[in-house]
Structure 1
């Protein structure tokens, strides 16, 4: 079954898990701790996308990630202060600078997409709101991986792996219900580790 069909047929728990898994894999872009979204996973295990528990834990996760993101932005700003000096001679590294600026731009766009996933998570997780969110998170997560992929055509290994993970999470929830949450979390954790490694490698390449 296609990803679109799986989202269309998912129940509330499956939709919440799908959107949450996409966001969880992108936490490295927000400077967050790996466990920051674990309480939201727990709320799905405890009683599905229950409004009170989900809303409270979502608000806490937003506060923690907003704080982490603000700290990361401040560090980046401090590290990128220009050094005053003579203009470089033509051809002396200007191409490398352009490549670096392009890489930073891609990461900024990816981070903005991740922040939007967090911001648009429904506080009151009814099925209609969760379906819109899950669909938007699916598209955003694929775009994030496309921006960070090494393949110039945008259909490289990161994108393909993210698509497989999205399908796997929805299939697990559809087939096992609440019993699919733990393996779905494991799938998401693996993807988060991959993305964290990609972000670290890109940072080292600019240093």
Structure 2
């Protein structure tokens, strides 16, 4: 079986997988914004319900994040992407958002990756992030219901730990 690219998987995803993929990318980047990681949990619950309640849960998550003080400039794009999440449960809007969230998460990890040289391949943080994005989409494409979402959230938790460790290394390395 040939594995599909991240772009191909996003193109094949339904609304549920797209919403979860975009949210997972942002959730993994959440350590840039806030230490409290349950801010987006209501939105994860909303994905299980589908279109019903998505807009309300999204508004709740945005309001919770609005109370978080502005962090450094690295966090601003993450906050903007949460603000850009579509209130409509529509495949075209969710595809656009999930694609942008994917790119943002990869860029966040690229900035934290150890230098690999000018033309070198992406480092281990980017490779791990891309792998998690692919795994989440593959899981959601074949697993219906909340079981797929639980497995996706396990990968999100792993990704958050990796990002927190990278942020900690970066903080220790700064004079």
- Structures share fold, TM-score greater than 0.5: yes
Q: Is 1:170 matched up with 2:137?
A: yes
Moved more, 32-41 or 138-147: 32-41
Which residue does 2:123 correspond to in 1?
156
- TM-score norm. by structure 2 comes to 0.89
Runs of at least 5 residues in structure 1 that lack an aligned partner in the other structure: 74-107
Q: Distance in 1 between matches of 2:81 and 2:116?
A: 25
How far apart are residue 125 of structure 1 and its match?
A: 2.3
Q: Deviations over 1:79-120 (max 9, x none)?
A: xxxxxxxxxxxxxxxxxxxxxxxxxxxxx3x32321221111
The answer for the alignment partner of 1:86 in structure 2 is none
| Larger Cα-atom Rg | 1
Residue deviations 1:21-43, cap 9 Å, x none?
A: 00000001112511111111111
Match of 2:161 in 1: 193
**Counterpart check, 1:4 vs 2:7:** yes
SS in 2 for 1:37: helix
Structure 2: distance between partners of 1:192 and 1:164 = 14
Q: What residue number does 1:131 align with?
A: 95
Name the structure 2 match of 1:63: 63
**Residue in 2 aligned with 1:54?**
54
Q: CA RMSD in A?
A: 1.6
Question: What is the SS of the residue equivalent to 1:155?
Answer: coil
Q: CA deviation at 1:59?
A: 1.6
The residue number in structure 2 matching 1:38 is: 41
Structure 2 counterpart SS, 1:189: helix
In structure 1, C-alpha distance between the alignment counterparts of 2:103 and 2:116, rounded to whole Å: 19
Q: Distance in 2 between matches of 1:147 and 1:66?
A: 25
SS in 2 for 1:68: coil
Whether contact under 8 Å (1:32, 1:68) holds in the other structure is no
Deviation at 1:202, TM superposition (A): 1.7
